[in-house]
Each structure stands twice: as structure tokens, then as C-alpha cells.
Amino acid sequence: MTRLIDSLSDIASGYDALYCDLWGCYHDGVTPYPAAVSALRAFRAAGGTVILLTNAPRPGEAVARHLAAMGAPSDSWDAIVSSGDAARAAVAAGGFGRRVEHVGPARDLSFFDGLDVERVSRAQAESVICTGLFDDETETPADYVEAIDAWARRGLRMLCANPDIIVDRGHQRLYCAGAIAEAYADAGGEVVYCGKPHRPIYALAQRRLEETRGPGPHRVLALGDGVGTDVAGGRALGVDTLFLTGGIAAADFAPDPDRPTPERLEAWLDKAPARPTYAMGRLR
């Protein structure tokens, strides 16, 4: 049975490191959550290590710049590991050819920095790299039906640089690269994922953790608002997990997602794809 806790401090002493999600956990896509920042600062002050583990399709350095732009204090984490980092490693290893079609907004072009690949038209592409929708404020996966059909007919392999299906930016719910990848897989296309809940991003996080703390074993807690990503990925890794009900699933815990009742939580988790070790409303 999942244990419902009130704050991270209830369990923090049992862990050396956190794999902490960003969207819906640390910030809402626009502004950091003050209570989350305070909780992570306190964890670090007690000797813990915080690895921000995000499905953002951009390199960790670009994620850090985005956090700085929204006013997030850099003393609330030790390292950032992104799905973009793990996906870039896959491209650098040569698994997707040199000529690729990029699907995603201009803000994701840092994904290609330093990679020996060329962005080309669909007709020339050896594979597809999907970092998101071209315009996530107006488009849905339905706008990509024609492209999906063309990729499937050519048998192109797709690298999905962000497995998330949806995300909340402020009060707006938007589709992510994972939604296009899911539709492509449904059409029979081959999709490769590197972010949560898949293994590559965790292997990279483990290396960063060892660089920071030295060789393990380390007691790790994976936390976030995605049962299918943060919780499922943590469980597959064999670590404890903390699910936050006040993030992407907040509407399911209305009227008070910050203070879920044990009965409401258990009923919801009975239908979820993975069960966390702990749960709480928001990171605090």
C-alpha cells in the first residue's frame, strides 16, 4: 500500500539522492514552486544530492538556461539530466543516420548542437527525430496524420526525444513529442525512446550521481507527477518512488489535489499503470 506523506522531510533521511522531475513538480512551465525549491534546498543542506531528471528534449545546459530565465535558484540542484541528453547520445552513436527530419519547434534546435547530422526534408531523411510539435499551442497529433502515413510508408525509424504525452504550461495543457510517437507506433512505425520511463536516461543519471557522490550504492528516491514516467521508471530501476498528485493528475484529485485523501488516492492508484512507494500533494 502506498504511504501518504505530508512533506519530503518525513522520509528524506532515508535517501542519499533524489531523481526529481521538473514540469508539475519543480515548476509549472512558467514559474518555480517556492515550496519545491525550499524542499530541495533542505535536502541538499542535509547532505543529499539532487539530480533534476526531465523529459525535456533539449540538452541539460539548455534546460539550465530555461530554469535561470524563470528565476529558479541553482543551489536547489546538483545536476540536470534530460531526455535530450540521452537521445543526443543515441544519435551520436550513429543509430539514426546522418540525414534526419526534425519535427519540433525552433526552441529545440539546441538538440542538434555538436551532432554530426544534417536536418533535411522528409524525402531525403534516413530517420525522424521528434522533439515536439511545431506549434504546441495550436496543434494536436491529428495535424500529423499525413506525416505519420509518409514516415510509415518509408519505414523510417523515429527517435522520440520527449516521451511525455502531455504537459501543463501554466494553465494550458499541451501535447508533447510522445503524443506524436504514440500515434506513429499505432500506425506501425518503429519508435525509440530515451527518456523516462526508459532505461537510457537513468543510466546517464546514475553516471552523473556517481560523478557527484562517488561510487554507490546510493539510496535513491525518484519523484514526480507522472505515474507512467516517473513512477514506472523508478520502479523499473528498483528504487523507491514518490508520486505528486497536484501535477498532471490534479483534476483527478479535485477539489483539493494538494491534500489527497487515502481513500481517493488508493482508488486512483488501483487503475494506474504503476504504484508508488509514497504519495503527497505537491513537493514541499
| One domain for residues 45 and 166 | no
Q: Which of 171, 197, 195, 167 is nearest to 179 (CA)?
A: 167
89 falls within a domain? no
Cell numbers given for 51 = 539530480
171 has a pLDDT exceeding 90: no
Mean pLDDT of the chain: 96
| One domain for residues 242 and 120 | no
User: Residue 170: which pLDDT band, with cuts at 50, 70 and 90?
Assistant: confident
Cell numbers given for 166 = 502531455
| One domain for residues 80 and 112 | no
Residues 6+ away with beta carbon under 8 Å from 203:
86
91 has a pLDDT exceeding 90: yes
pLDDT digits (tens, 9 = 90+) for 190-213: 999 999 999 999 999 999 999 999
Asked which of 193, 217, 244 is the last residue of a domain, the reply is 193
| One domain for residues 143 and 226 | no
Helix (H, G, I), strand (E, B) or coil at 270: coil
69 falls within a domain? yes
Report pLDDT for 59: 97
| One domain for residues 99 and 189 | yes
| One domain for residues 110 and 182 | yes
Asked which of 169, 193, 217 is the last residue of a domain, the reply is 193
**Locus of grid cell 544530492:** 49
Q: What would the mean pLDDT of 241-246 be, rounded to a whole number?
A: 97
Report pLDDT for 162: 98
Q: What is the CATH number of the domain that holds 157?
A: 3.40.50.1000
Q: Which of 270, 193, 201, 272 is nearest to 237 (CA)?
A: 201
Counting the structural domains of the chain, the total is 2
CA-to-CA distance for 60 and 129, rounded, in angstroms?
A: 18
Asked which of 193, 220, 251 is the last residue of a domain, the reply is 193
| One domain for residues 214 and 248 | yes
| One domain for residues 184 and 217 | no
Q: How many C-beta atoms surround the C-beta of residue 35 within 10 A?
A: 15
| One domain for residues 189 and 201 | no
Q: Which of 133, 104, 128 is nearest to 117 (CA)?
A: 128
| One domain for residues 184 and 99 | yes
pLDDT digits (tens, 9 = 90+) for 114-129: 999 999 999 999 999 9
Give the domain extent around 54: 3-84+197-280
| One domain for residues 148 and 113 | yes
CA-to-CA distance for 85 and 111, rounded, in angstroms?
A: 8
User: Residue 39: which pLDDT band, with cuts at 50, 70 and 90?
Assistant: very high
CA-to-CA distance for 56 and 195, rounded, in angstroms?
A: 8
68 falls within a domain? yes
90 falls within a domain? no
